[in-house]
Amino acid sequence: MKLKASWLAAALLAVAAIILPAFLGAYPLNVARSIMTYMALAVSWDMLLRSGQISFGIAGLFGLGSYASALAVLRAGMSPAASIVFAVLFAGLVAFGLGFAILRLRAMYFSITTLALMEIFRIIMHNLHDFSGGPEGVVLPAILFNGEAKALYWICLAGLFVTIAASVYFEKSKLHLALTAIRNDEISARTSGVNIFKYLLIAFVATSMLQGLMGAIQVQSYGFTMPDTAFDANFTLLPLAMALLGGIHSTIGPMAGAVLLGVAAEWLKLKIPYGHLVVYGLIIILVILFMPKGLYGLAKDKFKKSHDNRVKGKLS
Amino acid sequence: MMLEVKKLEAGYGKLQVLRAVDLNVGRESVGLFGPNGAGKTTLINTIMGIVEARSGDIVLEGKSINKLKTHEIARAGIALVPQERELFPGMSVADNLELGAAFVPRGKAVIKKQLEMVFGLFPILKERYAQLVGTMSGGQQRMVAIGRALMAKPSLLILDEPSLGLQPSIVAEVFERLAILKKEVAILVTEQNVRESLKAIDRGYVMENGAVVLEDSATGLATNPHVISAYLGI
């Protein structure tokens, strides 16, 4: 019954998200797209985090997806839709190759390497003048759906749905057991038959593809990209802050965090331009100190406590 | 023969720990005794591929497993209940048991049957099925660890010091269960509590300084003067 209720709530939310453009103008839809992009990045970051691996390379894969899509259109003459598929596969292929080297690393060594990768991708795009447009970036001949706000909203929503579906699959399938076991204890996981490298590679490639997907949708929606925007550190920091605030190791937590911080960010941008980044930093510090499980973890604990008290009351 | 360890040598860096260890386990329960630092855990870890063997061979049901990785050894039929770090504390009993079978094809095929067997052996686990193992007592956690290993339907169950950190009444209960279990699966158990474990084993080995110094039946070990003075404290 509980499961059915949660699926029903998810279906209602999905329908509400689909029909939202009927009630909103271009500016709020643009804000919604931004929030959905960050939400997808936050969820995808959390998917890898469930294995215990903390990646700081979200912006790197996001930017890689942006450039792969833009350059596929400009240099190979692909259609925007085909370029998005190409960007997803390209991000996956790069992650697959890199995975063999960096998934041997653990803890801060893995994190720092992913951070360095983001910078390496940016520098490559910065310096390949003739191919990538250098620091000025590239401009696409046309914007997807001629820039029609509702259509761009729906394509972004589609990217988010794919990410959420992948995350739920991670939660409900054998992957959940494998990643949780790896996070808890690698030796115990191995002695239980878990092929650690295989499952880390699956998680790394899948999350990289999702980040590449959102990057490709972003570039096709705006019609241009440049290294400093495609590989902007905000694409790493904001999803991380959103997931921490909402609650890690879940799909719902990062989604809730993205809505809260996304809306707050829009408001803060108007009140204290650039100062909103300071607020993000403060949120990360405060959440780690006082609410390490995030809002979703806190709500779960409260619900469990009241449930336990009710059970105790019935027994006594 | 279920497991054959032949002239096995292993160690850490320049430190040689195992010295030409020979050990066999048939369809029986075998104990491995010795003081701290004798090399018991290193031997278990080498059998499981956690520590690399320098020379010698390890054969499981006629096939060499020397070059296999740990997860492949688990899939080949050896389940380990490690000395520490034996559980996933943030996971429920249900998830821990499911995990035991999920990645081992032979366990996955008979998951319901194995679950019934585990519940038959440790009924408390059925009652606590949804509980997080991190919130259970030490004895119950040990039962979950053994249950998780059994879910893989192993040919050989290895337990590394199962009585470590448990109160005496629970230790006796664990060994009672092992005595029942030896009818279902071959067992290799390392233990410092020789007195209790002698009740659950058919044969035993004594290791000292990385080498096997004694091999005998449970009855033989119980009456051996060296075992009596060094391990039974009589």
Strands B156-160 and B186-191 come out as: parallel
Q: Which residue has the higher pLDDT, A46 or A282?
A: A46
Q: What angle (nearest 5°) sits at the alpha carbon of residue A134, between those of residues A128 and A139?
A: 120
User: For residues A226 and B233, what is the distance between their CA atoms, to the nearest angstrom?
Assistant: 77
Chain B CB within 8 Å of residue A41 CB: no
Instruction: Report the amino acid identity of residue B82.
Output: P
Mean pLDDT for chain A overall: 92
The least confident of A137-141, A258-262, A311-315 is A311-315
The least confident of A70-79, A214-223, B217-226 is B217-226
Domains of chain B: residue spans and CATH = 1-77+155-165+182-234 (3.40.50.300), 84-154 (no CATH)
Residue that is written with structure tokens 């990538």 in the block = A132
Residue B53 has pLDDT above 90, yes or no: yes
Task: Please classify residue A152 by burial: count the beta carbons closer than 10 Å to its beta carbon, then call 0-12 exposed, 13-18 middle and 19+ buried.
Answer: buried
- Measured between CB atoms, which of B80, B89, B102 is closest to A191? B80
User: For residues B157 and B79, what is the distance between their CA atoms, to the nearest angstrom?
Assistant: 5
Q: Tens digits of per-residue pLDDT, A195-204?
A: 999 999 999 9
Task: Specify the pLDDT at position B42.
Answer: 96
Question: Which letter, b or e, does each residue of B134-167 get, where b requires 16 or more Cβ atoms within 10 Å of its Cβ?
Answer: eebeebbbbbbbbbbbbbbbbbbbbbbbbbbebe
Q: Whose CA is closest to A212, among A31, A29, A40?
A: A40
Instruction: Report the amino acid identity of residue A279.
Output: V
Task: Specify the pLDDT at position A161.
Answer: 98
Strands (DSSP E) found in chain A: 138-139, 224-225
Chain B CB within 8 Å of residue A202 CB: no
Compute how many other C-beta atoms are within 10 angstroms of the C-beta atom of residue A245. Answer: 26
Task: Specify the pLDDT at position B58.
Answer: 97
Cβ distance of B79 and A191 shorter than 8 Å:
yes
Task: Specify the pLDDT at position A152.
Answer: 97
Q: Tens digits of per-residue pLDDT, B2-42?
A: 999 999 999 999 999 999 999 999 999 999 999 989 999 99
Residue B233 has pLDDT above 80, yes or no: no
Q: How far is CA A165 from the centre of its chain?
A: 13
Residue A14 has pLDDT above 90, yes or no: yes
For chain A, which residues make up each domain, given as ranges?
24-232
Question: Which CB contacts under 8 angstroms, 24+ apart, belong to A253-256?
Answer: A253/A46, A253/A294, A253/A295, A253/A296, A253/A297, A254/A39, A254/A42, A254/A43, A254/A45, A254/A46, A255/A39, A255/A42, A255/A43, A255/A164, A256/A295, A256/A296
Task: Specify the pLDDT at position A275.
Answer: 77
Task: Specify the pLDDT at position A210.
Answer: 98
pLDDT confidence of B149, banded at 50, 70, 90?
Answer: very high
User: For residues A63 and A124, what is the distance between their CA atoms, to the nearest angstrom?
Assistant: 11
* SS3 state at A309: helix
The least confident of A137-141, A236-240, A298-302, B116-120 is A298-302
Q: Which residue has the higher pLDDT, A294 or A280?
A: A294
Q: How far is CA A219 from the centre of its chain?
A: 16
Mean pLDDT for chain B overall: 91
Task: Write the CB contacts of A198 (distance below 8 Å, at least 6 apart in sequence).
Answer: none
Q: How close, in Å, is residue B73 to chain A by CA atoms? A: 8
User: For residues B227 and B194, what is the distance between their CA atoms, to the nearest angstrom?
Assistant: 9
Chain B CB within 8 Å of residue A193 CB: yes
Q: What is the mean pLDDT of residues A99-122?
A: 94
In B26-183, which residue ranges form alpha helices assigned H by DSSP?
Answer: 40-47, 70-76, 93-102, 105-108, 111-121, 123-127, 138-150, 168-181
Task: Specify the pLDDT at position B196.
Answer: 86
Taking the alpha carbons at both ends of chain B, their separation in whole angstroms is 34
Task: Specify the pLDDT at position A173.
Answer: 94
Residue A182 has pLDDT above 80, yes or no: yes
Cβ distance of A193 and B91 shorter than 8 Å:
no
Chain B CB within 8 Å of residue A310 CB: no
- Residue A56 tokens read as 């700081």
Task: Specify the pLDDT at position A314.
Answer: 54
| Contact between residue B23 and residue B5 where contact means Cβ atoms under 8 Å apart | yes
Task: Specify the pLDDT at position B86.
Answer: 65
Q: Tens digits of per-residue pLDDT, A294-304?
A: 998 888 888 77
Residue A103 has pLDDT above 80, yes or no: yes
* SS3 state at B3: strand
Q: What is the mean pLDDT of residues A284-311?
A: 79
Cβ distance of A177 and B69 shorter than 8 Å:
no
CB contacts under 8 A, A 101-160 vs B, are none
Task: Specify the pLDDT at position A253.
Answer: 95
Give percent helix, percent strand, percent coil of chain A, each to the nearest 5.
Answer: 85, 0, 15
Residue B234 has pLDDT above 70, yes or no: no
For an interface test with A, give the residue of B103, B157, B160 to mutate (most A CBs within 10 A). Answer: B103
For an interface test with B, give the residue of A172, A179, A188, A194 to mutate (most B CBs within 10 A). Answer: A188
Residue A1 has pLDDT above 70, yes or no: no
CA trace torsion B41, B44, B48, B49 (10° rounding): 60
The least confident of A64-78, A225-239, A242-256, A268-282 is A268-282
- Measured between CB atoms, which of A177, A181, A191 is closest to B48? A191
